[in-house]
């Protein structure tokens, strides 16, 4: 087996960005990917649907420098996304971006918090009692839906930082899908003479200073001077005997504990393409022609369109603990949950909606063994855990991933790309 400078475990955005950056600098790399495809939580598909459809990451959430610069370098356009936010409650539609009753007062008190604590503890200390029941429920749903997080252990400081730096006015989609960016990174890596092996599950990392052997489930052994572990946090948190889990020999106990001090959310994404854009029909008692997002109280509560494009594709979203609770539910049952939710929202029959459906896909990322969730969120101990994981083990074992990013774009492709780029540059700086 050919020995390379660096082995990268995981061919998602972070792993491929690491490989791309190292390859550009003349380093040799081998990328190992357990799935039968590259991209990780980016998965742009064309089968069944009328156009490129994102089963995973979809938006560029803001004017994010690493993502937009990479797209520009690759010659891939990103289009601005403008849309209206609507809410459907008790049978009525309302255009509104206010999700939490008493939000300003809540955020004002949160900004005065001196010591970090789980968000639930903050709410119980400051907004207890029946008169705040609705607000607490709305905040819980917001944290679950947007951050895919559990407010029982999510860091109040981290959420405060996110909410104070939201850039909702700048939203983009990648023309043709994020898969084009992934293919660009992979092709650049291969064109430099490097290999990306799919269907190759790394099971064990045997290491000593500046010497690594990675044992794959198929029995192949890969050797390098260094290894970069670019797996999703959910996989790193999995038990040693779980599918996709990886062990280290000798063990790295400090890093293992740090991994478990970070939060990883849950999500199920439902793609639904209909034979017409039924939500724009005049029979609906609201003008939804520019609707981007729709929020409701249904079992599948959140939907979005392809606005500003007028497309018959609706995307359903279930995040946080409610998604985890449905981890073992069949795709067909989740589809029926979505159909029932839409039927309730739009006051129509489930059978009628089902007959209008021409393509669908349930992306249950929480049940997917090589992902095991959505994206990271901070717990109270996460900042210290991140410091541990950002330090290489004997300049030999490195970690990369969106969970290691510390900034307002947490949980995004930008976070993954930034982490991968930073790890590669730290290795290159130690010549």
Closest to 67 (Cα-Cα) out of 13, 123, 148 = 13
Tokens of 284: 């609906």
Q: Which CATH number fits domain 4-58+178-263+380-428: 3.40.920.10, 3.50.50.60, 3.30.420.40, 3.90.180.10?
A: 3.50.50.60
Alpha helices, H only, 77-203: 103-110, 119-126, 133-147, 156-164, 179-191
> Binding site annotation covers 54?
no
Contact 181, 174 (CB under 8 A): yes
Q: pLDDT truncated to tens, each residue of the chain (431 aa)?
A: 679 999 999 999 999 999 999 999 999 999 999 999 999 999 999 888 999 999 999 999 888 899 999 999 999 999 988 788 999 988 889 998 888 989 999 999 999 999 999 999 999 999 999 999 999 999 999 999 999 999 999 999 999 988 887 655 678 999 999 999 999 999 999 999 999 999 999 999 999 999 999 999 999 999 999 999 999 999 999 999 999 999 999 999 999 999 999 999 999 999 999 999 999 987 777 889 899 999 999 999 999 999 999 999 999 999 999 999 999 999 999 999 999 999 999 999 999 999 999 999 999 999 999 999 999 999 999 999 999 999 999 999 999 999 999 877 888 999 999 999 999 999 999 86
> Binding site annotation covers 97?
no
Q: Dihedral of CA 110/121/268/406: which sign?
A: positive
Q: How far is CA 75 from CA 17, 80, 182, in A?
A: 16, 16, 13
Tokens of 120: 């639930």
Q: Dihedral of CA 260/162/125/89: which sign?
A: negative
Contact 161, 411 (CB under 8 A): no
Closest to 74 (Cα-Cα) out of 173, 179, 198 = 179
From-to residues of CATH 3.50.50.60 in the chain: 4-58+178-263+380-428
Q: Which residues, in sequence order, are CB contacts of 349 under 8 Å at separation 6+?
A: 343
Q: For 119, list phi and psi in degrees, rounded to 5.
A: -60, -35
> Binding site annotation covers 426?
no
Contact 392, 400 (CB under 8 A): no
Helix/strand number for the chain, H first, E second: 14, 22
Q: How far is CA 198 from CA 39, 57, 234, 281, 398, in A?
A: 11, 20, 20, 45, 21
CA 50/CA 95 separation, integer angstroms: 29
């Amino acid at each position: 087996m050919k020995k390379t400078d660096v082995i990268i475990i995981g061919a998602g955005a972070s792993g491929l960005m690491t490989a791309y950056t190292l390859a550009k600098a003349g380093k040799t790399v081998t990328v190992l990917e357990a799935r039968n495809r590259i991209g990780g939580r980016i998965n742009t598909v064309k089968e069944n649907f009328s156009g490129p459809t994102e089963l995973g990451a979809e938006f560029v959430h803001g004017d994010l420098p690493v993502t937009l610069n990479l797209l520009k370098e690759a010659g891939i356009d990103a289009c601005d996304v403008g849309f209206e936010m609507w809410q459907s409650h008790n049978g009525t539609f309302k255009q509104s971006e206010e999700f939490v009753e008493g939000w300003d007062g809540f955020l004002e008190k949160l900004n005065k918090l001196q010591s970090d604590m789980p968000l639930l503890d903050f709410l119980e200390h400051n907004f207890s009692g029946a008169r705040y029941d609705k607000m607490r429920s709305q905040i819980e749903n917001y944290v679950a839906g947007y951050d895919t997080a559990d407010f029982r252990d999510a860091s109040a400081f981290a959420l405060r930082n996110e909410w104070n730096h939201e850039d909702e006015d700048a939203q983009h989609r990648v023309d043709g899908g994020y898969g084009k960016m992934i293919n660009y990174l992979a092709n650049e890596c291969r064109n430099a003479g490097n290999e990306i092996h799919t269907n190759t599950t790394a099971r064990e990392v045997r290491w000593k200073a500046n010497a690594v052997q990675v044992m794959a489930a198929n029995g192949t052994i890969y050797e390098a001077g260094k290894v970069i572990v670019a797996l999703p946090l959910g996989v790193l948190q999995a038990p040693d005997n779980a599918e996709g889990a990886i062990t280290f020999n000798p063990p790295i106990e400090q890093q293992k504990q740090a991994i478990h001090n970070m939060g990883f959310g849950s999500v199920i994404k439902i793609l639904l393409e209909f034979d017409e854009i039924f939500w724009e029909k005049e029979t609906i008692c609201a003008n939804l022609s520019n609707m981007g997002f729709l929020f409701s109280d249904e079992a599948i509560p959140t939907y979005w369109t392809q606005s500003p494009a007028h497309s018959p594709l609706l995307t359903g979203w279930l995040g946080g603990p409610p998604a985890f609770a449905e981890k073992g539910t069949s795709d067909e049952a989740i589809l029926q949950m979505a159909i029932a939710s839409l039927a309730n929202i739009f006051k129509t029959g489930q059978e009628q909606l089902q007959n209008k459906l021409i393509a669908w896909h349930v992306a249950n990322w929480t049940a997917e063994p090589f992902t095991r969730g959505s994206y990271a969120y901070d717990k109270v101990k996460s900042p210290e855990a991140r410091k541990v994981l950002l330090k290489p083990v004997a300049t030999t074992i490195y970690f990369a991933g969106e969970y290691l990013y510390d900034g307002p774009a947490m949980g995004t492709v930008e976070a993954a790309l930034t982490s991968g780029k930073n790890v590669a540059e730290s290795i290159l700086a130690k010549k």
